[in-house]
Amino acid sequence: MNVRVPEPCSVRANLRVGLSRGNQARQTIGNNRPVAVSRGRPLSGTLIHVSLQELFEQVRSTFPTISEAADRLHERHWGSDLKDSLSPYAWFESLANALNAEMSRGADPKLHLALFSHLERALDSSEEVFRCLDVAFVENLFWQIPSRKAAPYWQLLPSRFRTLYEEFHRHPPVQ
């Protein structure tokens, strides 16, 4: 069994140089495709195997409402020409910020359950997808969201994302 640890990568790499997640092991199987390990066993469920670009396109087409909100936030932050500045890493950060806006306004978290599930199933597609979802998406969720507004989303967030969040922030967003 080969054990690999994802290297840190970030939209804000200059702020996070040197961070690592030494306790997040991943193993490879027959075709050398990375598979998540949960207490030594591959996780079950229907996994999807996509490139980061394919995941980006899938999310935008499958979840148009939240994607449009992410596009607006992305354009506001990165400039008016969305296509030229559209890095999937930066866009997934904008997606997290769009979800934060939903939390702030008290939107029903069940509206985004399918999105969370889809992203979790894609988590082990590749190291690039894993790093992007970990660093650009999960680490930016719940940013400056009051505990009472974060709680319903935290309860529905897949456990793997909760673990990644807590490993980075060292505590959950709810008290």
Kindly report, residue by residue over 47-76, the tens digit of the pLDDT.
788 999 999 999 999 999 999 999 999 989
What is the number of other CB atoms lying within 10 angstroms of the CB of residue 132? 27
**For position 38, what pLDDT does the model report?**
35
**For position 175, what pLDDT does the model report?**
81
* Closest residue by Cα to residue 66 from 141, 126, 134: 141
**For position 148, what pLDDT does the model report?**
96
The C-alpha atoms of residue 153 and residue 29 are separated, in whole angstroms, by 33
**For position 133, what pLDDT does the model report?**
97
Q: Which residues of the chain have pLDDT under 70?
A: 1-46, 80-86
Tokens of 106: 């008290």
**For position 140, what pLDDT does the model report?**
96
